Structure 1
Amino acid sequence: MTVAATAFGTLLATLSACGTHAAGPARAGGATGSRGQAGPSPTVSTAVSTAPTTDPTRIPGIGDRLARRIPHDSSQVVAVYGEGEDLADSTVVLYTREGSEWRPVAGWPAHNGRNGWTTDHHMGDERSPVGVFGLSGAGGVLDDPGTLLPYDQDAAAYAPPNDWDEAHQHDFDYVIAIDYNRLPGTPPHDGTRPEGDDKGGGIWLHLDHGDGTSACVSVSKDAMEFLLRTLDPARHPAMVMGDRAALRA
């Protein structure tokens, strides 16, 4: 079993044991995860399927407060488990609900805001917002990889700023909009901020380059392609995200 698969299996076991900027993207300015990390594999799937669970009707590690905010019609949830309130390392796990049971499908190393997490996000704090958010649209520099989500392919709209270094040049090859302070149903690059610019916006799930982001969540290209091809608007996908303590609260 690979190190990544072992870590993922351990994560799920641990979670189960716990029971229960202005307009434009939140720039990764160091967005992040190591490009080229392995996507889902038979070994990872084995780790998922054999991980113990205490209550299959609950997503591991998610307490009542946030669990109640997951839409009742959502049967796909991307959970982001942050390593700590002030840390940029996290793990992303995709769960699907079959009947009354939530089942892990795949998981990957990830990164979040370089300063960690917050329940009161403001533009420039470089922390990712804790909460439950819809996943209603996607886009990127590259062509649609075969997603069911509305996909906005636009090389100019998703081009990284000219002053970014080489490590960041592919951050927005694929993005999935996280519905924090945005109008669901609009392209990810839409600059409308219903709660005002000070509350930030343009928070995306995007490609990782191995370090913390400005507020986004980042995973490998393999992970992004898997998620894009798996998330289905008919299943009302949502994201629950935060550091582990905040998720359990």
Structure 2
Amino acid sequence: MSHTSAVRRRPPYAVRAGTCVAAIVLLAACGDSAGTDADTAGGSPRKPSAAASSAAPRTGHRQADGPPGRAAASAPRAPGARPARIPGLGSLTRGRIPAGARQALVVTGDSYDSSLSTAVLYARDDPTKGWRAVTPRWEAHNGLNGWADKHWENDLRTPVGVYGLTAAGGLFAPPNTVFPYERDPAYSVSGEGFDGEPLEGSFDYVVAIDYNRTPGVSPLDQERPLGQERGGGIWLHVDHGGPTQGCVSLSEGHMRELLRLLDPRKNPVVVMGDAEWLEG
């Protein structure tokens, strides 16, 4: 999907009065993690050239904005067998997934500056067998400008990292789900997206990503533990057919399926970033 200068001049995410301020005003951030922050100064670094990338040692790979999780504890296994790993994740990214997480939605961006991505939900119910895919690969969108190693308000990028999923909500009644969910008319949005597509219905179903928010509170909560300048209101929500301001969007059907599958007892997380970062 091309992003011309004309597209960027569109007023992003106009909303009705009284609608979700956390999701619209703060959708100028639309993303980040479940935990504390690394607090390095400066904006999102540019990617090195292909030549520089190939020469750089893996120890110098970009770091996530959020903190690493505990490395998964080793589990007993049959001689010669190894628990299955999530494909596309390198050792650094795998180490950020908390040991207690048994569901992981992996969102893989096409490239650092791309707004196109895909998502797959994985589960590990049997630690001796490791991770298995429980959904096919879903098409998704992320922020207009791609991904951010350190997210700032209004940068139109989605933060890379591993973040908890602890609360959901929406304009519509929830599907059959055990995930905490609130129905509220505040989940309303109007106006046009960056490609001129209507935004109405984008918040019919949302799952809050625990970036710069208190885990477990309403997705509409506006508290920002890292400070307002670090953005917030980063959600998984219904796709409107174009780039987001920092959230990750899936089709309505896939959002409903995700809500049916997510289980708070399995400590679900989202693992998200461009493909190169995830491979680190």
Q: Given the two structures, how large is their TM-score scaled by the length of structure 2?
A: 0.69
Aligned residue number for residue 198 of structure 1: 229
CA spacing shift, 1:197–1:186, aligned 2, 3 Å = same
Secondary structure of 1:27's counterpart equals helix
Select which of 171, 182, 204 maps to 1:152.
182
- Give the conservation status (yes or no) of the 8 Å contact 1:56–1:103: no
Q: By percentage of residues, which structure has more helix? A: 1
Distance 2:207 2:134 in 1: 18
Q: Which deviations, in whole Å up to 9, do the C-alpha atoms of 1:95-137 show, x marking residues without a partner?
A: 0113231001112100000100011100100000000000000
Map 1:81-96 → 2, pairs under 5 A:
81-96=108-123
Structure 2 unpaired stretches of 5+:
1-20, 31-81
Match of 1:215 in 2: 246
Q: Is the 8 A contact 2:29 2:155 kept in 1?
A: no
Please say which structure displays the higher CA radius of gyration: 2
Structure 1: runs of 5+ lacking an equivalent: 1-22, 31-54
Alpha-carbon offset, residue 27 of structure 1: 3.1
Instruction: Give the counterpart letter for 2:229 in structure 1.
Output: D
Please give the alpha-carbon distance, in whole angstroms, between the structure 2 residues aligned to 1:115 and 1:70.
26
Over the residues paired in the alignment, what is the CA RMSD in angstroms?
Answer: 2.1
| CA–CA distance in structure 2, aligned partners of residues 66 and 179 of structure 1 | 17
Q: How many angstroms apart in 2 are the aligned matches of 1:204 and 1:159? A: 14
**Residue 226 of structure 1: which of 257, 263, 267 is its match?**
257
Matched, 1:113 2:111: no
Residues 29 and 193 of structure 1, relative CA distance in 2, 3 Å threshold:
closer
Map of 1:231-242 to 2, 5 A cutoff? 231-242=262-273
Alignment: residue pair count: 203
Percent sequence identity is 48
1:176 is matched with: 207
* Partner residue of 2:160 out of 108, 125, 130: 130
Secondary structure of the residue aligned to 1:189 is: coil
Match of 2:14 in 1: none
- Larger strand share, 1 or 2: 1
For the pair 1:68 / 2:78, whether they are aligned, the reply is no
Alignment partners' CA distance in 2, 1:29 and 1:128: 8
The 8 Å contact of residues 115 and 127 in structure 1, kept in 2 or not, is answered as yes
Cα distance in 2 for residues equivalent to 1:222 and 1:56: 31
SS in 1 for 2:138: strand
Q: TM-score, normalised by structure 1?
A: 0.77
After superposition, what is the alpha-carbon deviation per residue over 1:41-84, rounded to whole angstroms, capped at 9, x for unaligned?
A: xxxxxxxxxxxxxx753211111222111111111100000000
Distance 2:90 2:141 in 1: 22
